[in-house]
Amino acid sequence: MQRRQFIKNTILGTTAYIVSTDIVFSSTMPKGYIPLGFQEPDPYKLFGKDTEMTVLNDKPWNIEAKAHLLDDKITPNKYMFIRNNGIIPKAIDASKWTLSIDGESVIKSKTFTLQELKTKFKQYTYQLTLECGGNGRSEFNPPAKGNQWTVGAVSCAEWTGVRLKDVLENVGIKSDAVYIGYHAADTHLSGDPKKEPISRGVPMHKALQDETLLAFKMNGEDIPLAHGYPLRLVAGGWPASASGKWINRISVRNIEHDGTKMKAPAYRVPCKPVAPGEKVKDEDMCIIESMPVKSLITYPKSGAMITKGKTLHIRGHAWAGELEVKNMAYSIDFGSTWIPCHLTKPSNRLAWQHFSAEIAFPKIGYYEVWARATDTNNVSQTMLVPGWNPKGYLNNACHRIAVKVK
């Protein structure tokens, strides 16, 4: 926005802000032409993303993966989706970064430097699944507004940091604490410094889990800027909106946190199922907590071709919010029979699991491979898009790929 306005204002001037010198032949430059030096940044280069990633929005940046890009057991940065509600903070000086813990339910507010967090507390590393609550939104009918995520707003990276519970214990929490809320350094799209793009959180029982981290490393390196450098909250298994990026303050609240995008209808679904398209009152919308059971076939790509007589190797990941995936099955006959897949144990709680199978096809022709996960509460993914809801959250329908045997 700012940049576009700037271009409008200065396009016919002679001093280029980006190229930091004069445009020598500006008088012969076609009207309305945008010099290369002024063009929008390339998001792939800017964020270190693979060029097969899909940009859904550039203001703010929202970028998703395709199923086959998520084949790695641990998601590398280049395939990790980006979901932003506001503008990524600029010019971060990690040596000056602080995290304040305040709120009604702390005994006394305290501020830590990043260095203090790293040295005063024990560090832990976990693989944690982060899925945007709106992943799969594009399939809802009637459609829901918002980023039209297909299947790629999910990741499982290795996060290193300190336990939020250790830090809260060090500060001292009152017995009336019910929720924590994060505050971060990104700016509202309007540019208004008094508005926060997002300030969500989790109830105390989630805040105090071993795996809930104040993370400063992702996959063994500093967290990439777009994913929350230099400090982010990671609450695996819950809608990733709970995992605040660029955090500089955590408030321990004696009420359910009431920050931006905590109130209905944001990140909430109808407390009771509703008919597609039905209007739902705010008070009938409930906060999403643990994400539902889901899986993704990451190999092969949809449209795979194999020769008659050969088997097809498939593989992918499965996850179930706070729970574990108990079994994984595939079907090649549109769901009438299901055959078990090999399924690994998670490397730690809240990490996605990996499945694989060798599939034999009876004869030449077109097939679909459908994959279905079942969690430890015996809840399975559905074949059809489940429970329509006004904001298009929690679509955990079975993933499927097309296969041709020739």
Ligand X SMILES: Nc1nc2c(c(=O)[nH]1)N[C@H]1C(S)=C(S)[C@@H](COP(=O)(O)O)O[C@H]1N2
CB atoms within 10 A of CB 102: 17
Question: Which residues are within 8 A (CB) of 278 and not within 5 positions of it... i.e. 6 or more apart?
Answer: none
Q: Is residue 132 a contact point for Mo ion (CB under 5 A)?
A: yes
Q: Which residue, chain included where needed, has tokens 């500089």?
A: 248
User: Between residues 83 and 232, which has the closer beta carbon with respect to Mo ion?
Assistant: 83
Which 3 state secondary structure label does DSSP give 390? coil
* 82, interface contact from ligand X, Mo ion, none, CB < 5-8 Å by kind: ligand X
Q: Are 156 and 117 in contact, with CB atoms under 8 Å apart?
A: no
User: Between residues 103 and 224, which has the closer beta carbon with respect to Mo ion?
Assistant: 224
> In the range 310-349, which residues lie near ligand X by CB under 6 A?
none
The secondary structure element, H or E, covering residue 346 is none
Q: Is residue 343 a contact point for Mo ion (CB under 5 A)?
A: no
Q: Which residue, chain included where needed, has tokens 């940065």?
A: 77
Residue selected from 151, 173, 198, 373 as contacting ligand X according to rule CB under 6 A: 198
Residue 270 structure tokens: 């109808």
User: Between residues 130 and 208, which has the closer beta carbon with respect to ligand X?
Assistant: 130
Residue selected from 241, 298, 374, 381 as contacting Mo ion according to rule CB under 5 A: 241
Q: Is residue 229 a contact point for ligand X (CB under 6 A)?
A: no
User: Between residues 241 and 396, which has the closer beta carbon with respect to Mo ion?
Assistant: 241
Q: Is residue 186 a contact point for ligand X (CB under 6 A)?
A: yes
The CA distance from 155 to 240, in Å, is 10
Residue selected from 206, 245, 294, 372 as contacting ligand X according to rule CB under 6 A: 245
The CA distance from 52 to 83, in Å, is 17
Q: Is residue 81 a contact point for ligand X (CB under 6 A)?
A: yes
The CA distance from 307 to 155, in Å, is 33
Q: Is residue 84 a contact point for ligand X (CB under 6 A)?
A: yes
DSSP character at residue 341: P
Which 3 state secondary structure label does DSSP give 76? coil
- The phi, psi pair for 187, rounded to 5°, reads -110, 150
Q: Is residue 246 a contact point for ligand X (CB under 6 A)?
A: yes
User: Between residues 240 and 280, which has the closer beta carbon with respect to ligand X?
Assistant: 240
Q: Is residue 291 a contact point for ligand X (CB under 6 A)?
A: no
Q: Is residue 393 a contact point for ligand X (CB under 6 A)?
A: no
**b (16+ CB within 10 A) / e for 350-370:** bbbbbbebebebeeeeebebb
Residue selected from 53, 56, 164, 240 as contacting ligand X according to rule CB under 6 A: 240
Residue selected from 77, 138, 147, 241 as contacting ligand X according to rule CB under 6 A: 241
* SS3 of the chain: helix, strand, coil, percent, to 5: 15, 35, 50
Q: Is residue 83 a contact point for Mo ion (CB under 5 A)?
A: yes
Q: Are 129 and 352 in contact, with CB atoms under 8 Å apart?
A: yes
Stretch that binds ligand X, among 187-195, 244-252, 368-376, 392-400 (CB under 6 A): 244-252
Q: Is residue 148 a contact point for Mo ion (CB under 5 A)?
A: no
Q: Which residues contribute to the site for ligand X (CB under 6 A)?
A: 80-86, 130, 132, 155, 184, 186, 197-198, 227, 240-241, 243-246
Q: Which residues contribute to the site for Mo ion (CB under 5 A)?
A: 83, 132, 241
